[in-house]
Amino acid sequence: MTGLPYTRRDLLRGAVLLGVGTAAGGGFSLALAAPALAVTAPAIASCATWGARNPSSALTVLGTNPNKIVIHHTDTANSTDYSQAHAFSLSRAIQNYHMDSNGWSDTGQHFTVSRGGYVTEGRHNSLSRLQAGSGMVVGAHCPGQNDQGIGIENEGNYNATTPPAALYDRLVQLCAYICDRYGIAATQIFGHRDFVATDCPGDVLYARLPQLRTDVAAALGGGGGFSVVVDNATTARFAASANWSSSATSTQRYGSNYRYAAPQATSDAATFTAAIPAEGSYRVEVWHPASSAYNSATPHVVYAKSGTQTVTVDQRTGGGAWRSLGTFTFAVGDRTVLAVSRWSGATGYVVADAVRITRV
Ligand SMILES: [Zn+2]
C-alpha cells in the first residue's frame, strides 16, 4: 500500500474539513427517540483491532446525537482483495493519509466499509458512542455536517462502477444499525455531494441512495419495525357511508374492489384506521385505480400528530401503484390515519382503495 492513489479532491481540502461547521447544515431535529428495534449489528472492528495510531490531538465528543448519515466513497482502487486483512490495511492507510498528509488529528470518517464487506471504526470514539446510542465524535468528512452526520466511507470508486454486493449489503446493515441506535430516520441518508461541491460518492453509488434508504427502512422494519396495508375491504379498518359505491371494474384496483363517490361539499369521508405501534415518522402511501373520469384533486387528509394535513391527489393518472403522500409523525395508538374526502372542487369521482403505512 505504498503511494496511496488518493486523488479525491475533497480530501485535499484539509483546512476546510477541519472546521466543525457550527451552524451550516444543521437545522432539523427528529422527535423520534431511539427506538428499541432488534436490528442486527454488523461486526465493526474497533480502532484497536485494526491497529490504529493514537489521535495526534484531543478529539471533540459531543453529547448530542447525529441526525443524518453521509455516504462517501474512498476514491481508491476497486480492489479485488476482499479479505479482512485488506480492510484493516486500508483503514491504516486512510488514517496515515488523513493524519500525515491532511494534518488531521485522526481518521476523518466515522466508519469504513471495505469491498469485501468488512466494517471498521474510523475516528476513535465512533464505535463506543454508536453502541451507546448517545453522542458522537466530531468527524472531518463533510464541511457543515461533521457535528451532525455520521460519515461512512465505502472503499472504491463508484463514478462508473456498481458497488459489490458484499459492500452494499453491509452498508445497508450498518446504516440500519446506526439509524436504530440513534433514532435516525432512513430518509436522512445523504451523499457527500448533497452538501459540498464534489463528485463523491460517485454517480453510481449516489444514484443508489434512494434504494439504500428503502432497503434501510426495510431492514429496520424487518427488525421489529412496522408496515401495514389497510385495504377498503379490511375488516373494521375502513369506514365509508353508503354514498360510497363499490366497484371491481378497474384492473388497477388493490385487492378485490374499491369505493368511489361523487365529489360534494360535505363531510362524508372514507376513513382508514391503523394501529400505530409507537410515536415516530411514517411514510403514507395510497393505491387507487386511475381513470380520466376520476377526480383531479382528491383531498387526502392525514391525521398527523401535529394535526390533520391535506394532500391532494390527481386520481386521473398514476393508478395501480403506491403513491407517497409524504412522511408524517404519528402518535401511538389505534386511530384514523387517513381520510379520503369528497370535498373537492374538481369534477370526477373520488376513489378510496388502500393505504400503506411504513415506519421510516
Ligand atoms: Zn466524500
Largest CA distance in the chain: 76
Give me the count of residues in the chain. Answer: 360
Task: Show the cell assigned to 38.
Answer: 432488534
Neighbours of ion ligand 1 (CB under 5 A): 72, 192, 200
Q: Provide CATH 3.40.80.10 ranges for the chain.
A: 9-222
Beta-carbon-side half-sphere exposure of residue 140 (alpha carbons within 13 Å): 26
Do 148 and 67 contact (CB within 8 A), yes or no? yes
Given a contact cutoff of 8 angstroms between Cβ atoms, the answer to whether 216 and 250 are in contact is: no
The CATH 2.60.120.260 domain(s) of the chain lie at: 227-359
Second CATH level (architecture) for the domain 227-359: Sandwich (2.60)
Cα Rg of the chain, angstroms: 24
Question: Tell me, what DSSP letter sits at residue 254?
Answer: S
From residue 1, how far is each of 5, 76, 117, 143, 278 by CA, in Å?
Answer: 9, 11, 19, 28, 49
43 CA → ligand 1 middle, Å: 23
Give me ligand 1 centre to Cα 253, in Å. Answer: 44
Q: How many whole angstroms from 111 Cα to the centroid of ligand 1?
A: 12
Amino acid at 168: Y
pLDDT tens over the chain, length 360 residues: 333 433 333 333 332 333 333 333 332 322 333 333 447 899 999 999 999 999 999 999 999 999 999 999 999 999 999 999 999 999 999 999 999 999 999 999 999 999 999 999 999 999 999 999 899 999 999 999 999 999 999 999 999 999 999 999 999 999 999 998 888 888 899 999 999 999 999 999 999 999 999 889 888 874 445 778 899 988 789 999 999 999 999 988 988 899 999 999 999 999 999 988 778 899 999 999 999 999 999 999 999 999 999 999 999 999 988 799 999 999 988 899 999 999 999 999 999 999 989 888
From ligand 1's centre to the CA of 192, what distance in Å?
Answer: 5
Label residue 348 left, alpha or beta by phi (over 0 means left) and psi (-120 to 50 means alpha): left
Q: Is 338:313 a contact under the CB 8 Å cutoff?
A: no
What is the three-class DSSP state of 190?
A: strand
Fold assignment, 9-222: Lysozyme-like (3.40.80)
Distance 10 CA to ligand 1 centre (A): 7
CA 108 vs. chain centroid, Å, equals 22
